[in-house]
Structure 1
């Protein structure tokens, strides 16, 4: 069986051979399924799509991926024999998948055109954010998460002063029938929004701040703090990735804004029942 042979040869060796092979070699068939074939390139790309953490893990998964490709090809052949692509729902799903794939490919093309941040840009980012790097802190906190509607949360806040400790908040939340859960945690500076980080930095140990969140609020009591500075060289890879991601997103947003400005877009009304259609 091919899977046994693949395991015997070793997934790492097979994938290495495919990756290093000339372009035409990628079209070489590795499995024939009835009259159709699965190519080396299809196999390699399927392996690369797996949520694996590194080359060794991907190589170990390679034989299983090939078996799944065989099953997929068998199912595809049956679907085509049954002419399922003519089913209206299937046709609509195929068209939706095509649109999504092409739109994503366009966004990826734009992203690939964004240059890598320069060393000077990385260093400037590092200097301008000492709280996240050179003066980075890790906070020991007690977090009380309270769930409730906007009206319920407003009523609760009227009963407890913002500086009230989590015990007072928990007592009033339970009296109001709200769900609340307390958790001790260690949270580094980058975990907090800028305003919350500023507040936590100036609080004394034992003091409390209240942060809004979707579906309720978060009561945070600072228990302690310790320094956890990060050097420029330690932070450089993270900063490079962050700056690149931000620029790629900005490029995509700018391009979409420009496309909208040039396009003729007319909202013609929503068909009755479209918003609630399953």
Structure 2
């Protein structure tokens, strides 16, 4: 049973963005004013000169370049703006020196470098197109927010924080009955694990604390119906996974506090659906011809697998941070103890 889904990651990402965006905007504005005032100190200079922060040989580094970098800094406080802008400028100067030397050595003409530049350009344009689509998406209404809130009691009204243990067991179908029987009679996961060891049945375990919104929507209702001490079994290609609910505590969220996260989540969901729709229409209108070995099993042919959705690559949403390879199916990280998304 996996404890992470793209939809849940989008929900968490939406809340994080929602909380940080106002502060980030204020920070960028403060930084921009600070840098512009510093650059404009020479009264009689031209507008172009006022936008120049430094010159590296014959090339200029502008205030706009500094502001662009600062916009991408997370956790930067307004009072740190002036110092941060100077540090960014120094990094940009060093970068410019490296670029100039690279051009002198004709590294910018290296086929691999050219390919990387083109790939980055394509990604930026595709992301901008997706963002343009998002600008036209209507904000969820109050009725839609309330409807979602009421339809997901396990996420809000009846929200709980779960302490979970999970075992990924390597077993054959013939061993399943004995394992299930022992699981039912065991008083704890530790006792069950001792049985597996004594029976020379290989397994790996993980544990973590997860809030309701950190569990997959598809499995949340089932987990929310579990009582402390209950376990759930999922069959896997190599055996089975046992999820054990060690304990839980109630931590409900009212609609007022949930509203911003729901609005952001529904907005992102609507944006994703619109992007899928647009890309589908573009594919249908375009003339796409697969050549050589790629023609075999190409999308649209009988028996061919459907094309994968291009949204993830085009939106520019950062993929989930790569966690250590977890032996358990859910990917629970024993070292990552989370208390939810700040809904306390």
| Closer, same or farther: CA 94–205 of 1 in aligned 2, 3 Å | closer
What is the TM-score of this pair, normalised by structure 2?
0.63
1:230-241 aligned within 5 A: 230-241=253-264
SS of the aligned residue for 1:133 comes to coil
Query: Which of the numbers 160, 163, 166 marks the counterpart of 2:179?
Result: 160
Secondary structure of the corresponding residue to residue 181 of structure 1: strand
Q: 1:203 to 1:13 in 2, by over 3 A?
A: closer
Q: 2:121 aligns with which of 98, 101, 109?
A: 98
How large is the RMSD of aligned CA atoms in angstroms? 3.4
Instruction: Tell me if the contact between 1:26 and 1:39 (Cα under 8 Å) persists in the aligned partners.
Output: no
Higher helix share: 1
Question: Unmatched 5+ residue regions in structure 2?
Answer: 1-27, 41-46, 295-344
- Report how far residue 170 of structure 1 moved: 2.5
Structure 1 pair 12–235 and aligned structure 2 pair: CA distance change class (3 A): closer
CA distance in 1, matches of 2:141, 2:87: 41
Q: Aligned runs of 1:145-184 on 2, under 5 Å?
A: 145-146=167-168, 152=171, 157-161=176-180, 163-164=183-184, 165=186, 166-167=189-190, 169-171=192-194, 173-174=196-197, 175-176=199-200, 178-183=202-207
Aligned counterparts of 1:138 and 1:193: Cα–Cα separation in 2 = 14
Structure with greater contact order relative to length (CA < 8 Å, sep ≥ 6) = 2
Match of residue 84 from structure 1: 107
How far apart are 1:32 and its partner, in Å? 0.6
Corresponding residue pairs, total: 255
The alpha-carbon distance between structure 1 residues 78 and 155, as it changes in their structure 2 partners (threshold 3 A), is farther
- Separation of aligned partners in 2, 1:83 and 1:136: 59
Please identify, of 71-80 and 95-104, the stretch whose mean Cα deviation from structure 2 is larger: 95-104
* Contact 2:161–2:251 (Cα < 8 Å) also in 1: yes
Cα pair 2:154 2:221 within 8 Å, conserved? no
* Aligned-residue offset at 1:104: 1.5
Q: What is the CA-CA distance between 1:107 and the residue it aligns to?
A: 1.4
